[in-house]
Amino acid sequence: MPFTTPNLDYHALSPEIVVTAVLAVILVADLFLDSSRKWLLSNIAAFGLVAAMAPILSLALSETDVRSMVGGAYVVDNFALVLKALFLGIGFVVLLMSSNYIEDGDYYEGEFYFLLLCSLLGMMVMASSRDLITIFVALETLSLPAYMLAGWRKRDLRSNEASLKYYLLGVLASAIMLYGMSLIYGFTGTTVLAKIGEQMHGSAAHQPLVTMAIVFIIVGFAFKVSAVPFHSWAPDTYEGAPTPVTAFLSVASKTGGFVALLELIFVGFFGRGDVWGPMFGILAALTMTVGNLVALRQKNIVRMLAYSSIAQAGYILVPFAIAGSNDGAGAKSAFTAAVVYLLVYAAMNLGAFSIIVAVARKTRSGEISSYGGLYEYAPGLAVLMTIFLFSLAGIPPLAGAWAKLFIFRAVLDAGTSWAVLLGVVAAVNSVIALFYYASIAREMWMNPVPDGDRTPIQVPAALVTALGITAAIVIIVGVYPQTFANFGDLASLVP
Amino acid sequence: MLTAAVFLPIVGAALLALIPREREEMLKAVALVVTLATAVIGLSLLFGFDYGDAGRLQYTVNHGWIEVINSRYHIGIDGISLPLLILSMVITVLCVIYSWDHFPEPHNPKAFLILMLVLETGMNGTFAAQDLILFFVFFELVLLPMYFMIGVWGGPNRQYAAIKFFLYTLFGSALMILSFLALYFKGGQTFDIPLLIAQGGAIAHGTQLLIFGGLFMGFAIKVPMFPFHTWLPDAHTEAPTVGSVILAAVLLKLGTYGFIRIAIPILPEAARSWAPWIGLLAVIGIIYGALGCLAQRDMKRLIAFSSVAHMGFVMLGIATLTTFGINAAVFGMVAHGLITGMLFFIAGSIQERFGTRELSRLGGLLLQAPRMGWMLGFCAFASLGLPGLAGFWGEFPAILSAYQPAAGLSEATFRAYMAVAAIGTVFAAGYLLWMLQRVAFGVVKPEFEKAHIHDVHIPEYIAWVPLLLGILVFGIFPHLLFQMTDAAVSVVTHGVDAVGAAGAAAGR
């Protein structure tokens, strides 16, 4: 069979092309800039990300809704565009968080931004992948730079540990997943998800081998999204990695994993809800409960947020668990719930991490007790942190509440008693979670300053911008959640 | 206009946030102006209200809000919401006045006033909301300011009390929101309260029972009903005076209001099945609260337990599901708001002057501060339900209504409840007079003999006189309130009666 050049739609690929060009520029510029002018690199990266938003906008406004390439392996539709925009937004905020951190900490700068953009590129590709191989390539593109970023504080043992643990477990997960993918290919003879999806109703409907393959693939991604019991790497990695990288891992990398799961489940394996439904149910219940209970005991704020983000992943798993029940009637609202949660989670978690970066500039500590009396010397940071925490806890009128409401809606839309039970577990968990989120608020507002040092915190402009963006999203979406309404047609993936 | 009444306070809060912390006078002045303006809007609502048609929602606003889930910005008030809305506005103004030079430690009037204004938006919004999601948002909006108010400005055990209050209520509201969503799916994909009332009866009986159970948890914790009341004594005791007043006068009513506005009219069948149990918990609450009072050594804690007992009367009235009982309940809510709010004000002032609220250390208030002593006596008598004062009209009809509960409810059960509740009033007289005796009568304890105890201050007068007048006026002219509520209550009980009639017909 002769090789035919695939027909590429360059307009559809332009966001990825812009990001690739920018990271090439960074790599070259890094060679020629002397160390006093390395700060330029972060600006180049930031402008590059903003520039990449332009083609996304033009694609969103264009007449063609779905642009499919390479035999359906690479698709640019509304779902892909929204998530690409989300990834660019996350990347932009992480850049704002890290520019001063990396500069002051005397770390390598050029490589940092290069790797960060590489990882983002992988995520953007992931948003368009509708094919097993593309998903795998995207996953490795986003993971490999992340392994290195986690070890960026190279003179710190814990950062080394973070990187190594993340790497070993990540590779293990990839191996398991790849095995599952090869089984699927062996059975169906195709790697394109849409075609796999057709066979799931027919010949592959009750094959034990296919069941095993699906389990393997889900377990592989359960590592990526740090679902219990595959979460053991997350707290150590999050604590050891530089804080902006932790923010990046806990938001962007996790979102990347969930995007892949959405594609796999809703396009590829939708017919086999009997396999993944119960599996996600158990994962979700365990992840929420264990994440929250362990978070209760944490003394270090980054570790606590690590467990909190595990628990949050549990909430996002809930809609997966119920998507297939009731003959798929609730699939659409399950899909919307997962996407909405990902969007909101990104804003509130990045906001909380930005505060941690800002406060650590003064206290040089990650202990929760070092937040004592924050209100007295940094009222602005204390108010914003309170907003982010209570949004994570799901208190209206903040964005997190609506994200949770969408989950509950999906649960009741499915309507089965298992679904409702899972909803009750989620409801009880949100009460447990409030306890530790409120404990930070208590520290900031009700306890005295530990060392009596009340000098105000100097927050650099980049961090202020990061905080402004995230807080604005949390509050605006909180008061006027109709901003979500336009994502209703995102559910195009749902069969 | 109703929108302004709801959101003016939070606009004021944003305004306060812009004023620097050091300019206390200006902060206080702005807060006072904002709350007064809100109250003026409230008065104009009161005068513009069409009393001939009090059962109809008035001043309605109905805009699209979250179209994805068909939740709308729908607000409006009827004869039940109106008095509670006015109560919330008046209490907030009085609290700002009372705080004028009484800011509890650690001072910081700016944050305190901002919280108070946010709280007011939450309270007003809850009473005006006609959409379940909107109701939920306002219901929850109340939590955060109260949490901080107790936790930052409270007594020695404040952090425990604050988080207990928060977790308890949040647990209830988590189940409540699940029930709301269930109503949405079972009741025709809408969150609109009037629409749900129109079609809620169509839900299958078993499902109704479950949904009502979720709503019950949400509201009963807020009321609080026995056995979910344990957060209340802690929260009340530790909260700063103003926090206690708002908590007692308005926040507790959010729970009972939820029953009347949402749970009963939307799910009349389930309400009928649940009513005997609600009644049972209500009378247990009456007796338990009263006995709890007798065991207290702290004045504020005693008043807190008396709230449990009083809310028991309110819930008993609601549980009868009759027009008579629910009218009494609404009256009881307003009366309890005025009287208990006032009692907490006095307890706060006593604490400020003596530095203690221990009943065993107090005594002879009438000798040292006779005016305050008499006010305390007045409120104690109002609270125990002396005819001619407001408390009577909440308590007595509630008991009486249990004699003849709605069709389909067991008369024997409710008459037994009635007897128990009547005994509860005797206890109420017991503990309130006992408190009055310990605090106001007798001789001054040696440790305070030399202390200079200032009688009622000017800000206190301004804050208290309206409440005292209210207690007296509503005591003498109860129809002022009953005429407002009656038509609206009939609308609530209409569904229950229909179900009862249908049940009786089927039984025949």
Statement: residue A216 has pLDDT above 70: yes
C-alpha torsion angle, residues A354, A356, A362, A367 (rounded to 10): 180
Alpha-helix residue ranges (DSSP H) falling in B69-157: 81-99, 109-128, 132-141, 143-153
Decide if A390 and B144 are in contact by the 8 Å CB cutoff: yes
Instruction: Check whether A488 has a pLDDT greater than 60.
Output: no
B chain contacts of residue A337, beta-carbon cutoff 8 Å: none
Rounded distance between C-alpha atoms, residue B435 and residue B438, angstroms: 5
pLDDT of amino acid B35: 92
Across A406-410, B100-104, B459-463, least confident range: B100-104
pLDDT at A181: 93
Residues in a beta bridge with A68? A75
Asked if A380 reaches chain B (Cβ–Cβ under 8 Å), the answer is: no
Cβ–Cβ contact B165 with A under 8 A: no
Tally: H helices and E strands in chain B = 22, 2
**Residue of chain B minimizing CA distance to A441:** B148
Query: What is the percent of chain B where pLDDT is above 70?
Result: 98
Q: Is A388 on the interface with B (CB under 8 A)?
A: no
How many residues appear in chain A?
495
Closest CA to A184 of A204, A168, A169: A204
Q: What b/e readout covers A181-203, taking b as 16+ CB neighbours within 10 angstroms?
A: bebbeebbebbbbbbbbbbbeee
Chain A residues touching B177 at Cβ < 8 A: 405, 408, 427
pLDDT at site A289: 93
Q: Which residues in chain A are contacts of B163 at CB distance < 8 A?
A: 435, 438-439, 442
**Residue A189 pLDDT more than 50?**
yes
Share of chain A above pLDDT 70, in %: 96
Which chain A residue is nearest to residue B135, measuring alpha carbons? Answer: A396
Minimum CA–CA partner of B183 in chain A: A412
- Scanning every residue of chain B, which has its alpha carbon at the shortest distance from the alpha carbon of A376? B108
Q: What is the tens place of the pLDDT at every residue in B283-335? A: 999 999 999 988 888 889 999 999 999 999 999 999 999 888 999 999 999 99
pLDDT tier for residue B189 given thresholds of 50, 70 and 90: confident
Question: Using CA atoms, how far apart are residues B321 and B490, in angstroms rounded to an integer?
Answer: 10
The per-residue pLDDT for range B56-102, each reduced to its tens digit, is 888 888 888 887 788 889 999 988 999 999 999 999 999 999 888 77
Q: List chain B domain ranges.
A: 2-507
Q: Which residues of B223-257 are buried (b: 16+ CB within 10 A; e: fewer)?
A: bbbbebbebbbbbbbbbbbbbbbbbbbbbbbbbbb
- Supply B125's token pair: 């919004």
Tell me the CB-side half-sphere exposure of residue A214, using CA atoms within 13 A: 29
Is the pLDDT assigned to residue B504 strictly greater than 70?
Answer: no
Q: Which residue's entry shows tokens 């709801």? A: B6
Cβ pair B147:A438 closer than 8 A = yes
Instruction: Name every residue whose Cβ is closer than 8 Å to that of residue A475 and which is 6 or more positions away in sequence.
Output: A387, A398, A399
Q: E strands, A277-395, where?
A: none
Q: Is A302 helix (H, G, I), strand (E, B) or coil?
A: helix
How far is B142 from B135, CA to CA, in rounded Å?
A: 11
- Judge if the upstream peptide bond of residue B224 is cis by omega within 30 degrees of 0: yes
Of A95-109, B34-48, B127-141, B268-282, minimum mean pLDDT range: A95-109
The answer to whether the Cβ–Cβ distance between A396 and B65 falls below 8 Å is no
ipTM of the complex: 0.86
Task: Give the pair of three-digit tokens for residue A465.
Answer: 């911008």
Report the distance separating Cα B436 and Cα B432, nearest Å. Answer: 6
Sign of CA dihedral B302, B303, B305, B310: positive
Whether omega for the bond prior to residue B106 falls within 30 degrees of 0, making it cis, is: yes
- Name the DSSP letter for residue A490: G
Confidence tier at A25 by pLDDT (50, 70, 90): very high
- Residue B508 pLDDT more than 50? no
Alpha carbon of residue B265 to chain centroid: 20
Select from A326, A430, A442, A444 the residue whose CB has the most chain B CBs within 10 Å, as the one to mutate to test that interface: A442
* Closest to B164 (Cα-Cα) out of A393, A438, A374: A438
- Chain A segment 431-460 residues within 8 A of B by beta carbon are 431, 434-435, 438-439, 442, 445-446
* Separation in Å, CA of A299 to nearest CA in chain B: 18
- H-type helices in A33-77, by residue range? 39-61
Do residues B317 and B329 lie in contact, with contact meaning Cβ atoms separated by under 8 Å? yes
Q: Which residue of B has its CA nearest to A380?
A: B17
Rounded Cα distance between A110 and A45, Å, is 10
Is it the case that residue A372 has pLDDT exceeding 90? no
Block residue for tokens 């983000």:
A309
Q: What is the DSSP string of B259-279?
A: IIIIIHHH-HHHHHHHHHHHH
Cβ distance A415 to B185 less than 8 Å, yes or no, reads: yes
In chain A, how long is the greatest CA-to-CA distance? 76
Q: How far is CA B443 from CA A476, B362, B451, in A?
A: 60, 9, 14
Tally A–B CB contacts below 8 A.
85
Residues contacting B495, CB < 8 A, separation 6+: B197, B200, B201, B264, B265, B268
Nearest Cβ partner for B174 among A409, A431, A438? A431
Give Dmax (Cα) for chain B: 76
Range with the poorest average pLDDT among A390-399, B290-299, B452-461:
B452-461
Over range B339-344, report the average pLDDT: 92
d(CA B89, CA A207): 67
Closest-CA residue of A relative to B64 is A482
Over residues B363-371, mean pLDDT:
84
Is A401 within 8 Å of A484 (Cβ atoms)?
Answer: no
H-state helical runs in A33-156: 39-61, 78-104, 110-128, 132-150
Which conformational region is residue A72 in: left (phi greater than 0), alpha (psi within -120 to 50 degrees), or beta?
Answer: left
Amino acid B337: pLDDT: 92
CA A343 from centroid of its chain's CA atoms: 9
Predicted confidence at residue A412, as pLDDT, reads 84
Residue ranges of the domains in chain A? 274-495
Grouping H, G, I as helix, E, B as strand and the rest as coil, residue A299 is: coil
Do residue A424 and residue B137 have CB atoms under 8 angstroms apart? no
Q: What is the DSSP string of A211-263?
A: HHHHHHHHHHHHHHTT-TTS-THHHHHHHHS-HHHHHHIIIIIHHHHHHHHHH
Residues in chain A with CB shorter than 8 Å from the CB of B151 are: 442, 445-446
B407 touches chain A (CB under 8 A): no
Weakest mean pLDDT among A197-211, B37-51, B382-396, B492-506: B492-506
Please report the pLDDT score of residue A294 as a whole number.
92
Cα distance between the two ends of chain B: 50
CA–CA distance, A480 with A443 (Å, rounded to integer): 30
In three-state secondary structure terms, B387 is coil
Cα dihedral A133/A134/A140/A145 (nearest 10): 160
pLDDT at res. B277: 92
Return the HEC string of B141-171.
HCHHHHHHHHHHHCCCCHHHHHHHHHHHHHH
Q: Residue B277 is encoded by which pair of tokens?
A: 């149990």
Encoded tokens for A79 = 């779902």
Q: Specify whether the CB–CB gap between A135 and A260 falls below 8 A.
A: yes
For the segment A162-190, the average pLDDT, to the nearest whole number, is 91
Q: Please say if the pLDDT value at position B282 is more than 90.
A: yes
Amino acid (one-letter) located at B84: L
Q: Structure tokens of A125?
A: 């590709």
- Specify the pLDDT at position A208: 85
Beta-bridged to residue B298, according to DSSP, are B358
Yes or no, beta carbons of B175 and A427 under 8 Å apart: yes
Q: What six digits make up the tokens of A20?
A: 């690739």
Q: Where are the strands (E) in B189-259, listed by range? A: none
Pairing of strands B71-77, B58-66: antiparallel
Mean pLDDT confidence for A289-310: 91
Select from A409, A427, A446 the Cβ nearest to the Cβ of B174.
A427
Which residue in B177, B189, B217 has the most chain A C-beta atoms within 10 A of its own C-beta, making it the best mutation to test that interface?
B177
pLDDT of A482 strictly over 50: yes
pLDDT in the model for residue A485: 59
Please give the Cα distance from B158 to B300 (Å, whole number): 14
CB contact under 8 A, B181 and A442: no
Q: What pLDDT is stored for residue A67 in this prediction?
A: 85
